[in-house]
Structure 1
């Protein structure tokens, strides 16, 4: 008699019998909320778990919680500040030197609707952390991830990337210095997450590495601590604040909210599936802007420049060029930084 096939999702939760034994999973922003819930889940599945945290006191407390609740000792935590490119480079260099493989990277960390501020490198905080930080980190770990194929990159976006919530890429003012609002900045960064994942999937074709993005739904975490607290809020900021206070009692727990990113990381049926967007543990449609390949490529080129990866890429191409000549530059794009 044929063995019954394991159903991946049951009652909105990913089947605990799908194991990750022998695999290494890295989760950004794993000291709280969905990141911590994901770390506990992966520990239970037998994975080696690498948690990251900006604050190591909180990170170590979270690691102790993950070890206790998962029953796994194969969990570590490392310091990573996604608002600092220096921190990202130090972290990636450490991972590349100390880890022999990286089967799953979950880009979970983020900030949401914070007061106007800048990263250590001078970028608007949500643009810098939610997009540029993960863009740089992923690229710096890409060789290790490719070496570990079949492997997966999972990027957490949000329903805020949809146009009806005002999401748009402000090409002539990516740092929103002319007209900053917390909602506009957050929505832009979440649209960038989906565009990044889409372009990454195209660049990874044939490597055995997949790239998918998702939205977790409304989840009760401390991510929303800034919502509705701003001075001189815009109409949309007020709407978000009211919605936050009125509906929060019905939101998902961190464990429930983490299920879609867990699904993208472990589901057997997603082997080879790439460039897609998920919600509620199912593939779903992203926004029309998130499907724009020209947007995705333009954002990639700009991000390479802002993170310093473009110069490195061109220097490598020049070294590899048969005649040692100048490498043609990509078309110039006129640009006219915990959990999501």
Structure 2
């Protein structure tokens, strides 16, 4: 029988996590940090997979103050470099025979046009390709159980930018639009999750997506620094109305990662107006995200671009 799904799910609903290990990308700040802290408080061993290890160590110290008995490790990971992804995955494989939760949270937003170390458009390369590769390299460490989860953090912004152009993911034939590029990277997170959910065994692990709604994080404020004056003014006006704290923004991610009632291929987000804030529930994504042909094409392209083939 499927577990019931409470309407007002909070961190108090997280089951005991003792004996479980979670790897969380971008866990030194914002949603990733709050996710790591909440899991540590419930007994999980947490790995903060971060680009800046000094910031990661400070975050680990803060988590240790809140959860003194928790195991907290910092792992260097630069998702904009496939070499770094491979190195981090190798170190994690050496350290852990079992990983119960892989939470693909890190990302960049609205950046000026730039490329990754491998020559791919920065937002797509970091937000999607880096996580695609990391998941493929660690997937066999996740036990075959519905309690094991690959949670990929998308965004309500996956609807921005119009149809994704798989023939020009690096924006070589069009003027660069950083808002659209961000939206397409977040759409790719969903296309990846839904395709992975179909490919995984019915015994688990589960592939699930989540989005934090409008969360007042360092990342969102940093993204606004790259925006126009009009956009920044609009953001300042709506900020109190549509944004919630990082602690609340982490709830959809935490529910996707721990709720026994979760099913593979679900998408969790806030239940409030336009999914901007509120308690987490299953939500719908854009029609484009459910296009199975598009999911399959992106999967094949992602394997070619990263050189990572998922285990059968």
TM score, norm. by length of structure 2: 0.89
Report the Cα offset of residue 172 of structure 1. 2.3
Q: Which residue number corresponds to residue 202 of structure 1?
A: 198
Report the Cα offset of residue 37 of structure 1. 0.5
Deviations along 1:71-93, whole A, 9 cap, x unmatched?
33311111110011111001101
* Among candidates 251, 254, 258, match of residue 266 of structure 1: 258
Query: Is 1:257–2:253 an aligned residue pair?
Result: no
Query: Is 1:119–2:111 an aligned residue pair?
Result: no
Which 4+ residue blocks in structure 1 deviate beyond 6 angstroms? none
Query: Is 1:279–2:269 an aligned residue pair?
Result: yes
In structure 2, relative to structure 1, the CA distance for the partners of 1:275 and 1:307 (3 Å cut) is same
Q: Which residue number corresponds to residue 170 of structure 1?
A: 165
Report the Cα offset of residue 222 of structure 1. 1.4
The structure with more radius of gyration = 1
Deviations along 1:302-321, whole A, 9 cap, x unmatched?
000000125xx7xx99xxxx
Matches within 5 A, 1:154-169: 154-162=151-159, 165-169=160-164
Distance in 2 of aligned mates of 1:31 and 1:46: 19
Distance in 2 of aligned mates of 1:256 and 1:150: 23
Q: Which residue number corresponds to residue 185 of structure 1?
A: 181
Distance in 1 of aligned mates of 2:290 and 2:106: 23
Distance in 2 of aligned mates of 1:115 and 1:9: 41
Contact 2:14-2:258 at 8 Å conserved across structures: no
Matches within 5 A, 1:1-340: 9=6, 11=8, 13-16=10-13, 18-146=15-143, 150-162=147-159, 165-177=160-172, 178-230=174-226, 240-250=231-241, 251-270=243-262, 273-280=263-270, 281-310=280-309
Note the aligned Cα RMSD (angstroms): 2.2
Deviates most, 142-151 or 282-291? 142-151
Distance in 2 of aligned mates of 1:36 and 1:94: 21
- SS in structure 2 at match of 1:52: strand
Report the Cα offset of residue 241 of structure 1. 3.4
Distance in 1 of aligned mates of 2:224 and 2:43: 40
Contact 1:101-1:148 at 8 Å conserved across structures: no
Deviations along 1:23-58, whole A, 9 cap, x unmatched?
111100000001110111000110111111101110
Report the Cα offset of residue 100 of structure 1. 1.8
In structure 2, relative to structure 1, the CA distance for the partners of 1:7 and 1:295 (3 Å cut) is closer
TM score, norm. by length of structure 1: 0.82
- SS in structure 2 at match of 1:286: coil
Gaps of 5+ in 2: 271-279
- SS in structure 2 at match of 1:171: coil
- What count of residue pairs does the alignment treat as equivalent? 299
In structure 2, relative to structure 1, the CA distance for the partners of 1:137 and 1:17 (3 Å cut) is closer
Report the Cα offset of residue 238 of structure 1. 6.6
